[in-house]
Amino acid sequence: MESVSNPERRYVISFGCPDRTGIIARISGFLAEHGGWIVEAAYHTDPDTGWFFTRQVVRADSLPFDAAGLRTRFADVAKSLSAESNWQVSDTGERRRAVILVSKAGHCLYDLLGRVASGELDIDVAAVIGNHASLGDITRAHGIPFHHVPFPAGDAAAKASAFAEVRELVDEHDPHAVVLARFMQVLPPELCEAWAGRALNIHHSFLPSFVGARPYHQAHARGVKLIGATCHYVTADLDAGPIVDQDVIRVDHGDSVEDMVRKGRDIEKVTLARGLRWHLEGRVLVHGNRTVVF
């Protein structure tokens, strides 16, 4: 196993474990033993669960081994801290891959493609998959493959077959993130499980107050003063997965439904992009149905 000479490359260690004394000393001692140069460190203890969380960023060129070697050696540390299944080591030198799922609404897709094209979001979008064909042209204009997978209404067998096709297309790329950019189909439990901790969704923040169709119309009728968006991990519990990010914007009596929809879309775009970035940077640690975001 060879060391890495790029001074900008980082290894990110993140995990959660039962809280106790000596955890930080154990981690820093292990890294110091191998010459690890820590450039960022974050810690959090949850008093409600008695759980400890950390994210450590180390210069890759300060260690005498690569990311695989770090994982092998850190496994003993994780075991000693009872964090066997709650830790990971990621390498910033490894390109992150995402697959985006869409329907008809394009605002989140346009925003993500623009951020990727400008280099603001430094990832590879391996493919975009839509249950409608309307966003194919903009996707292909960015040099990204678009796959149209129709979902026939009222046909359970055809819908299951469509999800099987989507799963095959996604898994072909083994993405670090599966982004539901206003994808208006409910993932079946088996896909929620297969993509657990990787599938990110965005929706309006009215839930549970305004469920069902036309939430902005319902909110307008009630005279709400704040609207927003929630980025969360997808689970079998609809729109109830661990929350990665949320944001809001004020509205008032002078805003029409169309104004609220426009402002809501702006918040959705920013919140989804921010949540995706944090996920790909290894800043989100999930514990039960809650998250710690460093």
Q: What is the pLDDT of residue 82?
A: 94
**To the nearest whole percent, how much of the chain has pLDDT over 70?**
98
Task: Say whether 195 sits in a helix, a strand or coil.
Answer: coil
Q: Are 197 and 233 a contacting pair, CB within 8 Å? A: yes
pLDDT tens digits, 257-291: 999 999 999 999 999 999 999 999 999 999 988 99
> How large is the average pLDDT for residues 194-217?
88
Q: What is the pLDDT of residue 7?
A: 77
> How large is the average pLDDT for residues 213-219?
88
**Whole-number Å distance between alpha carbons of 137 and 256:** 31
- Chain center to CA of 254: 35
pLDDT tens digits, 138-166: 999 999 999 999 999 888 999 999 999 99
**Residue 123 predicted with pLDDT over 80:** yes
Where helices occur in 44-155 by DSSP H, the ranges are 67-80, 107-118, 136-141
**Whole-number Å distance between alpha carbons of 162 and 156:** 10
Residue 4: band (very low, low, confident or very high) from pLDDT cuts 50, 70, 90: low
Q: Give the catalytic positions in this structure.
A: 239
The torsion angles phi and psi of 261, rounded to 5 degrees, stand at -65, -45
Contacts of 256 (CB under 8 A, 6+ apart): 220
Instruction: Judge if pTM exceeds 0.85.
Output: yes
- Element (DSSP H or E) covering residue 272: helix 257-280
Task: Say whether 75 sits in a helix, a strand or coil.
Answer: helix
Task: Specify the DSSP class assigned to residue 95.
Answer: P
Closest listed residue to residue 192, CA positions, set 225, 232, 223: 232
**Residue 212 predicted with pLDDT over 80:** no
CA distances from 8 to 11, 59, 62, 67, 282 (A): 10, 7, 11, 14, 17
**Whole-number Å distance between alpha carbons of 179 and 224:** 29
**Whole-number Å distance between alpha carbons of 167 and 129:** 10
**Whole-number Å distance between alpha carbons of 190 and 160:** 11
> How large is the average pLDDT for residues 58-85?
94
Residue showing tokens 């801290």: 81
Q: Which residues pair with 42 in a beta bridge?
A: 55
CA distances from 206 to 41, 214, 223 (A): 35, 11, 12
- Element (DSSP H or E) covering residue 147: strand 146-148
**Residue 33 predicted with pLDDT over 60:** yes
Is the omega angle on the peptide bond into residue 208 within 30 degrees of 0, that is, cis? yes
